[in-house]
Chain A
Amino acid sequence: MLTYIVKRTLLMIPILFGITVLSFAVMRLAPGGPAEAQMEFSSRASAEARERLRKLYGADQPFHKQYATWLKKFVTLDFGTAFADGRLVKDKILERLPITLTINALSLGLVLLIAIPIGIMSATRQYSLIDRFTTMFVFIGFSTPSFWLALLLIYAFGVQWGLLPISGLHSLDTTGLSRWGKLMDESRHLILPVFVSAFGGLAGFSRYVRNNMLEVMRQDYIRTARAKGLPEGSVVYKHALRNAIMPVITILGLVLPSLIGGSAIMEQVFGIPGMGQLMFQAVLSRDYNLAMGILVPAAFLTMAGNFLADIGYAFADPRIRLR
């Protein structure tokens, strides 16, 4: 097991390097760096001023030197300041992170709560009406543009029935509300975003649970359990589920990055000031420091998630370690 972990860790080093080089290159290749962006507001700025700014941002240096300077700062967790307002990138991220994290954690909880029972049900009653219904639901779930679903729900619940607020995180004026009232107000704003971000995952997870369950139910030890006369409930929930659920738990590692990543599109539709929206703005305004400050940690988390998932698999299934 230890050898496997060490091997797997060493594999991450070139990937780490590649992630930073690629993201840095993509961001720096953009014509019109931060100096030019600032100049757009003052067209009369002289060529010398332009040059001074370029020097200030290090844009006059060759690519590999810029990269080295950036990397040196980055490893000490110094992400620099955002060009737009001069605030620390770290602060900007930290004020948005809780919002995205809350929404995604809630929706992940919702997904697991619904997907696991659905998956078990359609696996144990294979070919039944409910199984066929969920199969169709899975296909529709995979094919639905999330932002369209968001629009429909906004129209139905917000515009037509006036039941739920349609954008933002809280109402404009919350001064008169008690602490409880404020919490209620915020939860009402979260209902639609959480549901929409859960929707796509629901299809995928329930399918995954179902397929794992089906695979396990075909094993010999399940037949043995049935043969020795165990009640069906005990066969399904004790013998089958425990083995089928293991890969589902390890796959959670892969979901880790999307917990903090947030969705640029979703947050745009609902007007939520989260990580996705921040990244979207950063990329569009070519705010290198900010964009890199989000992109690179997100990529690292993805990799770490893969790592955890692999280790989890290896832990659960000794055959993998030998490969």
Chain B
Amino acid sequence: MQPPESSMRDDGQKQASPVQNRRKVPMASRSESFATLTLRSLLSNRLAVIGVILVALVFILSIFAPLFAPFDPSAIDIRNILVGPGFAHPLGTDDLGRDVLSRMLWGGRVSLEVGFVAVGIATIIGMILGSLAGFYGGWIDSAIMRAVDIMLSIPTIFLVLAVIAILEPSIINIMIVIGLTSWMEPARLIRAEFISIKEREFVLAARAIGAADNRIMLRHILPNGLSPILVSATMGIGAAILIESALSFLGLGVQPPTPSWGSLLSAGKDNIEIAWWLSAFPGLAILLTVLGYNLLGEGIRDALDPRQRE
């Protein structure tokens, strides 16, 4: 029962979100660059800072998983099956006696990989199609936008399931499938940017001195229209991690013995009556990671909006 996200999030751009509105952004001196200003604005927003911390924390823990993990994530120990959290195993063990903390640390790598690559694919497809649609208009625009409508009409999860059933589940295929089913939002955003930017004076000037279409698109319009893409990509990472964990939960995602948060939860479901820790911790990791990217994305959106800088 989710209302469509686009309708939910669009309005964030129209109006300042109240919490951020109140913060006092120090008056910028002339010499400060746009990036510095944006960063400062981001860091003075409490929710965004929480987001940055969460994102950084998950990053560090996953990258240094081999250092932090107390056990080999796939070492089976049949004498310690489903042991609760304690001294030896801080977050307990799973149904094969594997250390849950170690599996979660390694699983974080999988989630981040899937999140970043899937969003990368979606963003590249979306940027190419959105730019073409917005720049050329006419039948090219109509054709691309109808394709967007078609993709948005088919329930994503079913499309993903169907394609995974064809391709066999593997990390690479999951990245591709999530990427191929989530390029519509970036495409729409980039198209809107192109439509508004292409009529500006500097683009007309570039055109007047005879710049080629692709130069105008790549050098003049695209760099000026990247802000909404940055926001949607940041939040998209969270969304991709959610889809990956759902697929792994259903057994169609990352395959054993590779650890993943979703498949840990799946084991948690099977042992819900005897091992609460198997369900609780991996889900909390997903929640905090996705929350981090959502807060960061919202923070970037507010920080990039110059209307909110006094």
A residues sitting closer than 8 Å to B (CB atoms) are 14-15, 18-19, 22-23, 26-27, 29-31, 104, 107-108, 111, 126-127, 131-132, 135-136, 139-140, 142-145, 147-149, 151-152, 154-155, 159, 166, 197-198, 200-201, 204-205, 207-208, 211-212, 214-215, 251, 254-255, 257-258, 261, 263-265, 268-269, 279-280, 283-284, 286, 291, 294-295, 298-300, 302-303, 306
Contact, CB under 8 Å: A201 / B2: yes
Contact, CB under 8 Å: B15 / A265: no
Q: Using an 8 Å CB-CB cutoff, how does the interface string of B256-296 with A read, 1 for contact, 0 for none? A: 00000000010011001100100110110011101100110
Kindly list chain A residues whose C-beta atoms are within 8 Å of the C-beta of B291: 139-140, 143
Closest 3 CB pairs of A and B: A148-B283, A18-B150, A143-B290
**A and B contact pairs by CB, cutoff 8 A, 23 listed:** A15-B149, A18-B147, A18-B150, A22-B151, A27-B162, A30-B162, A30-B165, A107-B1, A127-B22, A135-B18, A145-B287, A145-B290, A147-B246, A148-B282, A155-B276, A211-B15, A254-B3, A254-B4, A255-B1, A258-B1, A263-B157, A279-B161, A286-B165
Central interface residue in B1, B5, B166, B283, by most chain A CB within 10 Å: B1
**Does B171 count as interface, using CB distance less than 8 angstroms?**
no
Kindly list chain A residues whose C-beta atoms are within 8 Å of the C-beta of B162: 23, 26-27, 30, 283, 291, 295
A196 to chain B, nearest CB (A): 10
Contact, CB under 8 Å: A283 / B161: yes
Contact, CB under 8 Å: A145 / B245: yes
Given A18-B147, A148-B286, A215-B11, the answer on whether A132 and B19 have CB atoms closer than 8 Å is: yes
Further pairs besides A26-B162, A131-B18, A211-B15: 15, Cβ < 8 Å: A15-B149, A18-B146, A22-B154, A111-B1, A127-B22, A144-B287, A145-B286, A147-B246, A147-B249, A148-B287, A155-B280, A198-B1, A254-B7, A258-B2, A268-B250
Contact, CB under 8 Å: A251 / B7: yes
Determine the residue in chain B with the shortest Cβ distance to A268.
Answer: B250
Bound-complex Cα distance A165 to B194 (A) = 54
Residues from 54 to 81 in B contacting A, C-beta threshold 8 Å: none
B residues sitting closer than 8 Å to A (CB atoms) are 1-5, 7-8, 11-12, 14-15, 17-19, 22, 47, 146-147, 149-155, 157-159, 161-163, 165-166, 238, 242, 245-246, 249-250, 265, 268-269, 272-273, 276, 279-280, 282-283, 286-288, 290-291, 294-295, 298
Kindly list chain B residues whose C-beta atoms are within 8 Å of the C-beta of A291: 158, 162
Given A144-B287, A198-B1, A211-B11, the answer on whether A19 and B150 have CB atoms closer than 8 Å is: yes
Partner of B279, one of A108, A151, A198, A302: A151
Kindly list chain A residues whose C-beta atoms are within 8 Å of the C-beta of B249: 145, 147, 265
Given A148-B265, A214-B15, the answer on whether A26 and B246 have CB atoms closer than 8 Å is: no
Contact, CB under 8 Å: A148 / B279: yes
Partner of A155, one of B17, B279, B286: B279
Kindly list chain B residues whose C-beta atoms are within 8 Å of the C-beta of A200: 1-2
Kindly list chain B residues whose C-beta atoms are within 8 Å of the C-beta of A139: 47, 291, 294-295, 298
Determine the residue in chain A with the shortest Cβ distance to B6.
Answer: A254
Central interface residue in B14, B166, B290, by most chain A CB within 10 Å: B166
Determine the residue in chain B with the shortest Cβ distance to A146.
Answer: B246
Bound-complex Cα distance A102 to B274 (A) = 32
Contact, CB under 8 Å: B161 / A280: yes
Bound-complex Cα distance A264 to B247 (A) = 10
Bound-complex Cα distance A265 to B5 (A) = 19
Kindly list chain B residues whose C-beta atoms are within 8 Å of the C-beta of A132: 19
Determine the residue in chain B with the shortest Cβ distance to A128.
Answer: B18
Bound-complex Cα distance A126 to B20 (A) = 12
Bound-complex Cα distance A289 to B168 (A) = 21
Kindly list chain A residues whose C-beta atoms are within 8 Å of the C-beta of B159: 26
Contact, CB under 8 Å: A127 / B18: yes
Partner of A298, one of B155, B272, B286: B155
Given A26-B166, A152-B280, A204-B8, the answer on whether A215 and B15 have CB atoms closer than 8 Å is: yes
Bound-complex Cα distance A215 to B11 (A) = 9
Partner of B1, one of A140, A201, A208, A268: A201
B230 to chain A, nearest CB (A): 18
Partner of B11, one of A142, A208, A300: A208
Kindly list chain B residues whose C-beta atoms are within 8 Å of the C-beta of A265: 157, 246, 249-250
Bound-complex Cα distance A138 to B233 (A) = 19
Contact, CB under 8 Å: A208 / B7: yes
Kindly list chain A residues whose C-beta atoms are within 8 Å of the C-beta of B286: 145, 148
Contact, CB under 8 Å: B161 / A197: no
Kindly list chain A residues whose C-beta atoms are within 8 Å of the C-beta of B150: 15, 18-19, 22
Kindly list chain B residues whose C-beta atoms are within 8 Å of the C-beta of A215: 11, 14-15
A292 to chain B, nearest CB (A): 10
Bound-complex Cα distance A19 to B294 (A) = 31
Bound-complex Cα distance A208 to B4 (A) = 11
Bound-complex Cα distance A13 to B30 (A) = 54
Contact, CB under 8 Å: A15 / B153: yes
Central interface residue in B158, B249, B286, B298, by most chain A CB within 10 Å: B158
Contact, CB under 8 Å: A26 / B163: yes
Contact, CB under 8 Å: A299 / B1: no
Kindly list chain B residues whose C-beta atoms are within 8 Å of the C-beta of A261: 155
Contact, CB under 8 Å: A143 / B2: no
A28 to chain B, nearest CB (A): 10
Contact, CB under 8 Å: B269 / A269: yes
Bound-complex Cα distance A30 to B268 (A) = 31
Bound-complex Cα distance A111 to B282 (A) = 27
Bound-complex Cα distance A108 to B286 (A) = 26
Kindly list chain A residues whose C-beta atoms are within 8 Å of the C-beta of B245: 145
